Amino acid sequence: MSYLIDYDKYLEAGVHIGTRTKVSKMRPYIFKVRKNALYVLDIKKTDAMIRAAGKMLAGYEPNEILVIATRDSARHAAAKFAEATGAKTNLGRFIPGRLTNVKLNTYSEPSVVIISDTKAEHSAVLEAAKMGIAVVAFCDTDNSPEYVDVIIPANNKGRKANGLLYYLLAREIQLNRGIISKYEEFPKQLDEFVMQKEERPQAAAVAAPAGPAEAPKADVPAPVEKADDVAVDKEKPKKEKEKENEKEKKSEKSEKSEKKEKSKEEKAE
């Protein structure tokens, strides 16, 4: 049997590594159970379902496809997949109602959604099913494949596994669209889809905007603080801060009184 990529690449990425939990509907995709109770997925079926998903998704226009990735380990790969195929993305938190509530600014009407993890993105799966939107999903052994039209059995928690899965799926779509005639023509490299350890997830950049910086008090130079110190200080309860302020005031008073006593003693001498 010929695979979409060298068999060892699947093993290196850990695509076959499942969890110690098994959902009954995922049983057909499980190859074996290890002595440590870890379920191992069947790579042959993973490979076959990537091919099937590629053919299906190639029949949709790029802007009709919405790829959803809420886990840190999948966001980078999903973003690269979108770059390669023209699909739309939902990276990070899935806002409830995105597929059902027309009043939301984030509302969209895809014809098909790609789910990175049915457990983490369960609400997206339910909304897609409610709206009659086709669902393609990467499912681990602990994921329910309910409402999923095309199940791709795979480890969907590792960054290397997600990188390889999205790389192969993107390449397969472009081949079936006729944009490339052979795999060697695919312009992207596998390494581009794998998030490096030092990289921060893209969704982390979409954080709440920081408030305006406080100007230092007059005649008092602003203290140089480490990032860790600032973070800890913000987390302290107000009561603790008030207690600290009181202690500082008391210490200042005691210092002043000590100075006065010393000056009196010097005069007496």
pLDDT at residue 268, rounded to an integer: 42
Strand-pair partners of 39: 33
* 212 domain residue, yes or no: no
Q: 249 falls in which pLDDT band (50, 70, 90)?
A: low
- Judged against a pLDDT cut of 80, whether residue 139 lies above it is answered with yes
User: pLDDT tens for residues 179-238?
Assistant: 999 999 999 999 999 988 766 554 443 333 444 444 444 444 444 444 444 334 444 445
The boundaries of the domain holding residue 116 are 5-191
* 107 domain residue, yes or no: yes
* 69 domain residue, yes or no: yes
How far apart CA 182 and CA 180 sit, in angstroms, is 6
SS (H, E, C) 123-192: HHHHHHHHHCCEEEEEECCCCCCCCCCEEEECCCCCHHHHHHHHHHHHHHHHHHHCCCCCHHHCCCCHHH
* Chain mean pLDDT for the chain: 83
Total structural domains within the chain: 1
More confident residue, 87 or 195: 87
* 267 domain residue, yes or no: no
- Judged against a pLDDT cut of 80, whether residue 240 lies above it is answered with no
User: pLDDT tens for residues 159-185?
Assistant: 999 999 999 999 999 999 999 999 999
CATH number for the domain that contains residue 46: 3.40.50.10490
* 45 domain residue, yes or no: yes
Strand-pair partners of 69: 91
Q: Give pTM, 2 decimals.
A: 0.73
CA dihedral sign of residues 200, 83, 147, 96: positive
* 130 domain residue, yes or no: yes
